[in-house]
Structure 1
Amino acid sequence: MDIDVGPVDPSVLYEQDLHVSSAVWEGQERGLLRCQEHTSLLHQWKLTDEQVKLVDKAGFGYFRRIGPMSLNNSLISALVERWRRETNTFHLSLGEMTITMDEVALVLGLEIDGEPVVGAKVGDEAALDICGRLLGKVPSAANKEVNCSRVKLNWLKKTFSECPEDASAEQVKCHTRAYLLYLIGSTIFATTDGDKVSVKYLPLFEDFDKAGRYAWGAAALACLYRALGNASLKSQSNICGCLTLLQCWSYFHLDVGRPEAYEVCFPLALLWKGKGSRSKTDLTEYRRELDDLDPSKITWCPYEKLENIIPQHIKAKLVLGRSRTTLVCFEKIELHFPDRCLRQFGKCQPIPQKVKRRDRKNRRLDDLDTSMSLACEEWAERRDNIMDSPAGGCVDEGAYMEWYARISITKLYREAFLETQVMNMIACMRESEEAAAGISLEKLAPVEREVVESVKDTLANYLTFGGWQEAAINSGNGYGKRRRRNEQTPANGNDISPVFLDKET
């Protein structure tokens, strides 16, 4: 028989057939994701004092300090396998966790309270006009510096990375807008095509004071949620968005692949500056570590000891981390569900509300406009929807875990799961053997006595090492049959063998 990896109750994880975990369980490894965050050249921008002041006004004063970050592709790929876009949370062995808005403010230093990051669509001609007006220069379509209203990051750096000493006030603004467009295009709004950024963001930097009133952190989280959701599909091979935020979140919460931290400073991403590149741990090993997480490996509230270095104006808005609201970034609309992860706020975790299914297909333009309007309304009410534990004290954690085991998938490392299946099968056989041994044969008819004796003999045979090994391969878990149908090693060279079947009892 084939393995049913779950979930037992598909009402929450209703997209399991599309999820990468379903491919993992079929032995169809996709290998490491290609990480599309391009921070390696940020240090080549030379900002004047006047430019730094404008960047601060626009809301990126802390964020610009982070600069280039090294990424651990294996860890990121393993985390993505646990992400579910139905709930916008990681499904780990001890429950759900997620990246919340307060963590964006703490880790990146971006504003999470303010106007939603929205604007008009920009066509090709309009994109050139906007560049001419706000950058003072126009990229060349002939030289492929602009395409489909997106400009190349390399053109921005080559043209604007160093502001002339004798630049006018308007030139300083143009160079600063170019830097900000490059900064967001290579980090929080990075896309899968990697080397381009949409001109649609540029009008948001026309007025630097107004730019500082946008909730850039909420928009960054919306884009990361969308990127994680897309990358969690088995059809995908790369991931974009602010992967620095994803990696730092993991280092703060999970003792998996965590390097030693640098000196504490703000924004908190600087604790892991330069950490994480070229890890010797592969994806399979990280997958196993995430399977085997125990309470000692999870830090639910990692920021409590860092309060002294957090700026007061950041602290005042951290309550929004518990806002059940809608995050918006232009056409991207994502739901923020802190009520599914209240333990990250030091609170008891109840069984969360049901999540409404999202129809991601056949969305007409007018439907999107309606959704955007509703999303902005929900965002405006963000402070009215702060989540807390239910009244009446702590809830039964056992009930939560029982519910969670039904609706989730807690094991992705396939060999470990197969071994568990075999052990469960053996336990059932032993129970059956004990039950059969308790049957009195005296009052049975000869035919019935013969059947019971046959059952006892069969169970005794299979409970020897050779017997249960043969049962496991041929009928118990279906793995042997599947291996014989797929003798070739997967394209990426990863070969998964049922090692546990060779162990002695």
Structure 2
Amino acid sequence: MSGEEERSSLPERSSGGVEESGNRVAAFNPDSSCVPSSPRVMDAIGSMHGPGPIDKQVLHLQDQHRSVEIWDGYDPGPLTCRHRQSTALRRWAPHPRMFPYMSRAGFYHVYRLGFGFKIDWPLMTALVERWRQETHTFHLSIGETTVTLQDVAVLMGLRIDGPPVTGASISNWAPLCEQYLGARPSKEHLRGSSLKLTWLRKHFMVLPDDATDEVVERYTRAYILFLIGGQLCPDKSASSVQLLYLPLLVDFDYCGTLSWGGAVLATLYRALCRACQRGVHEICGPLLLLQLWSWERLHVGRPTRLHLPEVELDNDGAPVDPLGRRWRVRFSNQKNPVPHILQIYREKLDQQTEDQVIWQPYTPNVLAELPAICLDGQHIWRAEVPLICFDIIEWYFPRRVMRQFGLVQLIPPGVDTELALHKQDRRGKRTLDWVARHARYVELWQRRHESVVVGQPWDTHLHHHGDYMTWFRRITRRIISRGMQFQSSGDIRNTLQHVVWICERGSFALGSWGTEGGREALANLVSTANQWQQMLRDLLPPNDPSEQPLQHRLVEEAGPSRPKRKTRAPCNLQRPNIVSPQPLQHQAGKEAGPSRSKKKKKPSDNLEPSNDVIQQPPVAEAASNPPGRRKKPESNVQQPHGVSQQPLKSPPPKEEVAGPSRQNRKKKPRNN
């Protein structure tokens, strides 16, 4: 079959140019038998349509996202991370008598994690800018990813599978504090259900040597409350803890069965959803979990460890530290990142490739060195359920991040995060039974074993032009920082030149290629190039010198023009008319050597000196010699011997001529 017959046998395409066959984009070649398929061409078009999304059916809250401000030039800068209790937790060392109670309650391993970490504010901000409230995932350039139940269990050693962390709130918490903590806080330290963490530190930091078991239990409850309010589930103030958790700590055995990992993940999701809104300047939540997750999976902001810690074992020979503990070592750089590093993080995330993401960092060898609590409940790591923490309800969608579980990622179905839940909080609800209020979500959590997502094993990377990535690039916000698309206006100018070339070649081929499919493909090519050209013009910085008509940019030189040499003000006198010299005189002038100035001289500068004195009118001499003005000497080019000189003709009357030589000017008076 000839090339012409093959082109005519191609399937017809709609006006929108959509064809779903094939996973590759054929390079445009009029002589080949393959016309570029329309969906792949449209995918290339979409990659140039600004930051995205092209299809707003998924990210329908884009206008409220903080990335809009950044793209419009109003960069709010790094978020303020409310993380005040790290120093206090490092100083508060629980007594060894408290360890058995902490282990029964499920908080011993998270205590072993340690809290001597410095939070990277620019890194937290860069991740928040990628977080989407509509999907509860981070939208990277290579797909979606998120913090999962697996990450919480493995990194922090918190239980996942168990009843939800919820209960009822009451109006008077002071008697309950006195009953289970052994002390009643004052009104200064207790406001509603918020108890100041400074009060806990003041009264329960040091366990008495002669403490009874009941006193040890009270001190253990106080430390766990401080742990919850300071690191795991902090409120907006980051300086108080909600006493809603205190009734759950009465029975340590029951407390150890609760899904504290689900509660921490729900708190993190809520903090990210709030911080990604426009006009928000701070974030408070379990930021340590987010930072550990980023270090394990992403290359951006990951510090270089100088060594790895040894695996510590308990008395029974079992590991005791969660995986996050291995980041509690010395780094190559101990300084806090400066604020301007945020732009570097943005650019790296905008340019991220799939090989820069560790989709499965928890290998079997790594999991074998973790305590049992890190692996309990792994059968619900992929359960699509609501995460519950009293008033906080956040949906968990592992179907959107199947690569993190080693499964094939398909185009996920539409999801609903129930935006009304994000507006719900405890304000004005001092007495409320949250179990009854969220009965539907509690029931869905209880049936979590029935909602586990399954899939096919995945052992390779996703094709760039596969179905998922083609769909994802159309629905996502690909670029956060405007400065990443082009390094300078010169790059835009060069790109415009290539686009114009595409337009010209495409228009020429459009008139010479006779098949219907070829005409349609070339018409799409020309239309695409015109759209690129307009978009590139819009990306030029304000008042950019390259923002000029296109025909001027095409003939403009690559480098900047040489600045013009400053010249003296022109004299109002004109040179005398001279007779053209003979060829021999030209040769004699070359033998005389170059003139003093390298600048190209006017023809009148090559005048040979002559013994004939030029008669000049008085007006011309007075104008050429104003008082106090120094005149530029003329060239002293000697004429070789034996060469006849042509006499200069006298100028016409009332015509200005060049001034006399320096020698003659000294002999003549200044005023005639």
Q: Taking structure 1 as the reference length, what is the TM-score of the superposition?
A: 0.82
- Give the counterpart of 1:303 among 354, 358, 362: 362
- Give the counterpart of 1:105 among 129, 133, 153: 153
Give the Å deviation of 1:336.
0.9
- Give the counterpart of 1:477 among 539, 544, 558: 539
Which letter does structure 1 place at the counterpart of 2:88?
L
- Give the counterpart of 1:325 among 381, 385, 394: 385
Give the Å deviation of 1:171.
1.7
Give distance in 1, aligned partners of 2:96 and 2:207: 11
1:409 aligns with 2:409: no
Give the Å deviation of 1:476.
3.2
Q: 1:422-471: CA deviations, max 9, x gaps?
A: 77755543332224445879xxxxxxxxxxxxxxxxx9xx99xxxx99x8
Alignment of 1:428-443 (within 5 A): 428-437=499-508
1:351 aligns with 2:419: no
**How many percent of aligned residue pairs carry the same amino acid?**
34
Q: Assess if the C-alpha contact under 8 Å between 2:297 and 2:361 holds in 1.
A: yes
Give distance in 2, aligned partners of 1:28 and 1:47: 46
Q: 1:20-72: CA deviations, max 9, x gaps?
A: 11111011111111112322211222422321111111110100112222111
Change (3 A) 1:314 1:437: closer
Q: Assess if the C-alpha contact under 8 Å between 1:70 and 1:277 holds in 2.
A: no
2:353 aligns with 294
Alignment of 1:217-232 (within 5 A): 217-232=261-276
1:278 aligns with 336
Give distance in 1, aligned partners of 2:506 and 2:352: 36
Give distance in 2, aligned partners of 1:367 and 1:148: 16
1:269 aligns with 2:324: yes
Q: Assess if the C-alpha contact under 8 Å between 2:147 and 2:293 holds in 1.
A: yes
Q: Assess if the C-alpha contact under 8 Å between 2:51 and 2:478 holds in 1.
A: no
Q: Assess if the C-alpha contact under 8 Å between 1:264 and 1:270 holds in 2.
A: no
Q: Assess if the C-alpha contact under 8 Å between 2:167 and 2:433 holds in 1.
A: no
Change (3 A) 1:4 1:187: same
- Give the counterpart of 2:135 among 83, 87, 92: 87
Give distance in 1, aligned partners of 2:282 and 2:203: 29
Structure 2 unaligned regions, length at least 5: 1-48, 312-320, 513-525, 546-556, 561-672
- Give the counterpart of 1:41 among 88, 94, 104: 88
Give the Å deviation of 1:357.
5.5
Q: 1:80-104: CA deviations, max 9, x gaps?
A: 1111111111100100001110110
- Name the SS for the 1:139 alignment partner: coil
Q: Assess if the C-alpha contact under 8 Å between 1:135 and 1:178 holds in 2.
A: yes
Q: Assess if the C-alpha contact under 8 Å between 2:309 and 2:326 holds in 1.
A: yes
Which letter does structure 2 place at the counterpart of 1:372?
H
Give the Å deviation of 1:318.
1.9
Q: Assess if the C-alpha contact under 8 Å between 1:97 and 1:344 holds in 2.
A: yes
Aligned-residue RMSD, C-alpha: 3.4
Hey, which bits of structure 1, 4+ residues long, moved more than 3 A?
Answer: 274-277, 361-371, 390-397, 418-428, 435-441, 475-479, 502-505
Q: Greater CA radius of gyration, 1 or 2?
A: 2
- Name the SS for the 1:163 alignment partner: coil
2:455 aligns with 389
- Name the SS for the 2:94 alignment partner: coil
Q: After superposing the two structures, state which structure 1 stretch, 349-358 or 204-213, moved more.
A: 349-358
Give the Å deviation of 1:277.
5.3
The one of the two structures with greater contact order (alpha-carbon pairs below 8 A, sep at least 6) is 1
Give the Å deviation of 1:204.
0.8
1:13 aligns with 2:67: no
Give distance in 2, aligned partners of 1:160 and 1:84: 40
Which letter does structure 2 place at the counterpart of 1:129?
P
Give the Å deviation of 1:278.
0.1
Q: After superposing the two structures, state which structure 1 stretch, 88-97 or 266-275, moved more.
A: 266-275
Q: After superposing the two structures, state which structure 1 stretch, 306-315 or 196-205, moved more.
A: 306-315
Q: Assess if the C-alpha contact under 8 Å between 2:159 and 2:373 holds in 1.
A: no
- Name the SS for the 2:419 alignment partner: coil
1:55 aligns with 2:115: no
Change (3 A) 1:148 1:392: closer
Give distance in 1, aligned partners of 2:217 and 2:434: 34
Q: Assess if the C-alpha contact under 8 Å between 2:406 and 2:457 holds in 1.
A: no
Give distance in 2, aligned partners of 1:131 and 1:367: 19
- Give the counterpart of 1:173 among 217, 241, 246: 217
Give distance in 1, aligned partners of 2:118 and 2:185: 30
2:574 aligns with none
Give the Å deviation of 1:116.
0.2
1:491 aligns with none
Which letter does structure 2 place at the counterpart of 1:480?
P
- Name the SS for the 2:102 alignment partner: helix
Q: 1:110-153: CA deviations, max 9, x gaps?
A: 00011100011233xx1112111111111111xx2122321111
The structure with the largest helix share of the pair is 1
Give distance in 2, aligned partners of 1:402 and 1:270: 38
Give the Å deviation of 1:260.
2.7
1:26 aligns with 72
Q: 1:184-243: CA deviations, max 9, x gaps?
A: 100111122111111111111011111111110110000001111111112211111111
Q: After superposing the two structures, state which structure 1 stretch, 336-345 or 422-431, moved more.
A: 422-431
2:440 aligns with 374
- Name the SS for the 2:277 alignment partner: coil
Which letter does structure 2 place at the counterpart of 1:148?
G
1:138 aligns with 2:184: yes
Give the Å deviation of 1:264.
5.7
- Name the SS for the 2:108 alignment partner: coil
1:120 aligns with 2:168: yes
Q: Assess if the C-alpha contact under 8 Å between 1:102 and 1:319 holds in 2.
A: no
Q: Assess if the C-alpha contact under 8 Å between 1:63 and 1:267 holds in 2.
A: yes
Give the Å deviation of 1:393.
11
Q: 1:250-306: CA deviations, max 9, x gaps?
A: 111011121234326431111111667502571000111111111221110001040
- Name the SS for the 1:333 alignment partner: strand
Q: After superposing the two structures, state which structure 1 stretch, 54-63 or 66-75, moved more.
A: 66-75
Structure 1 unaligned regions, length at least 5: 442-458, 484-501
1:258 aligns with 302
- Name the SS for the 2:232 alignment partner: coil
Change (3 A) 1:26 1:223: same
Q: Report the number of matched residues.
A: 457
Which letter does structure 2 place at the counterpart of 1:433?
E
Which letter does structure 1 place at the counterpart of 2:177?
C
- Name the SS for the 2:144 alignment partner: strand
